[in-house]
Chain A
Amino acid sequence: MIETDILIIGAGPTGLFTVFEAGLLKLKCHLIDALPQAGGQCSEIYPKKPIYDIPAFPEILAGDLVDNLMEQIKPFEPGFTLGERAETIEKLEDETFIVTTNKGTKHHAPIVAIAGGLGSFEPRKPPIPTITQFEDNGVEYMIREPEIYRNKKVIIAGGGDSALDWAIFLTNVASDVTLIHRRNEFRGALDSVEKVQELKNKGKIRLITPAEVTEIIGNTNVTGVQVNEKDKEPYTLETDHFIPLFGLSPKLGPIANWGLDIEKNAIKVNNALDYQTNIPGIYAIGDVNTYPGKLKLILCGFHEATLMCQSAYKRIFPDKKYVMKYTTVGGVEGFDGSKKEAPKAVVKAIK
């Protein structure tokens, strides 16, 4: 069981900044995210795109914003459960919560802060009839254990970086690698595209473009797929695995069943006070919440996180007196023993 003060669901910018504000109040944080890396949309969708409305940053790349936040919160030693999706929540008699992920990891905290953005990122499934019945029987939407493809025939569909990168990687594992894309052009990184070209020339990757997989063949396990290639009659290709890699899209997912008030795919919160949901002790901050006048901006998420932490502190320590202190005055004392503070004025007499 992972124990923490504030359990944050979602490791995007809002979730990450929460660690900092909580740290100033000596509260420890642990973050859960379905993606394998921190940063949320900023890392997953647009790491190389600039953002212009972060206060005091005339321009910053989304990926750099995440790097900076990770640096800023490092002294507060946040814990991470990455690549797992928060699945269920249970309120105990002492008003604390246990959140369990899809992989069974349990987290215990007096405060839950949902900073889930638009939801957890799920693989986009191509609209092929019967595809769901082959899931884990030869159809995989992401590659978790490359070894299962050892000496197998593999067909990958997609035209982005993950399709290219995995096609390249699997040439050293699988007996047979085919890459199918609807276009002749790929939009992945240039060196990946060139590498695939090279492997194609060497006969290590079979490239079928422009083409589309329209059907999956097999009884319980995949034995082949039907391919629609331009200007050809549809034909069947034998394969052991079909891996469609068409990116990820966010879905609110299991959080929608936690008994929270939901409106327009977002969680209703009390914005006059502390961004608490209808369940005391559960807060929702950043893009995942809604209230009159809500704007889905990173800078608004930062503000919401700050107020939410103050409320969380009062909930955990109802009798403690506290006043907010400027970091310039109080410095930043990390849980790792580090201390940042403003340099003291130097006084020296002039003779």
Chain B
Amino acid sequence: MSDINIKITDREGVTHEIVAPTDMAMNMMEIVRSYELAPEGTIGVCGGMAMCASCQCYVLSDHELPEMGVDEDMMLAEAFYVEDNSRLGCQIPITPELEGLEIKLAPES
């Protein structure tokens, strides 16, 4: 088994402790969708191309995440409710290093 534990706070403020697989090439946006923590059609709209920012989330724990790519950076430059700890969930692959990660979903926009 190569699952990790993650805490995700949804847009209603409810925190979910969930288990995410590291061996399925999944990203954080897909984890949120697979657990239906945000209604379909309000997250992952572009499918994970860093082109819509519907999966924006705030990283609450001090995990070291993979560096931001240009696409993600430029998309966040045009997104709303962006904070210093904003990331796009679709650009965060689920890896063993993320054990214990805590994130919060940004408001829908």
Contacts and interface: CB of A to CB of B under 8 A. Distances in A.
A75 interface: no
A45 B77 contact: no
Interface in B11-44: 39-42
A159 B78 contact: yes
A187 B74 contact: yes
Contact of B51 (A46, A118, A250, A265): A46
19 contacts: A41-B46, A45-B52, A46-B46, A119-B41, A124-B80, A124-B109, A127-B80, A127-B107, A127-B109, A159-B77, A187-B74, A246-B78, A247-B78, A249-B54, A252-B41, A264-B39, A265-B41, A265-B42, A266-B41
Nearest to A188: B74
Interface residues of A, number: 26
B74 to A, nearest CB: 4
Contact residues on B (Cβ < 8 Å of other chain), bracket:
10 to 19
Interface in B68-99: 74, 77-78, 80-82
B65 interface: no
Given A249-B109, A252-B41, A266-B41, A46 B49 contact: yes
- The main secondary structure of chain A at its interface with chain B is loop
Interface in A143-185: 158-160, 181-183, 185
Contacts of A314: none
A105 to B, nearest CB: 26
A187 B49 contact: no
- The main secondary structure of chain B at its interface with chain A is loop
Question: What are the 8 closest A-B residue pairs judged by CB atoms, nearest first?
Answer: A265-B41, A187-B74, A264-B40, A183-B77, A265-B40, A127-B80, A159-B78, A182-B77
Given A127-B80, A127-B109, A158-B78, A250 B40 contact: no
Given A45-B51, A46-B46, A246 B41 contact: no
B45 interface: yes
A126 interface: yes
Interface of B: 39-42, 45-46, 49, 51-52, 54, 74, 77-78, 80-82, 107, 109
A348 to B, nearest CB: 54
Given A49-B49, A252-B41, A266-B41, A187 B54 contact: no
Contacts of B51: 45-46
A325 to B, nearest CB: 36
A315 to B, nearest CB: 29
B78 A266 contact: no
Given A119-B41, A265-B42, A187 B77 contact: yes
A127 B46 CA distance: 21
Given A45-B46, A49-B49, A249-B45, A266 B40 contact: yes
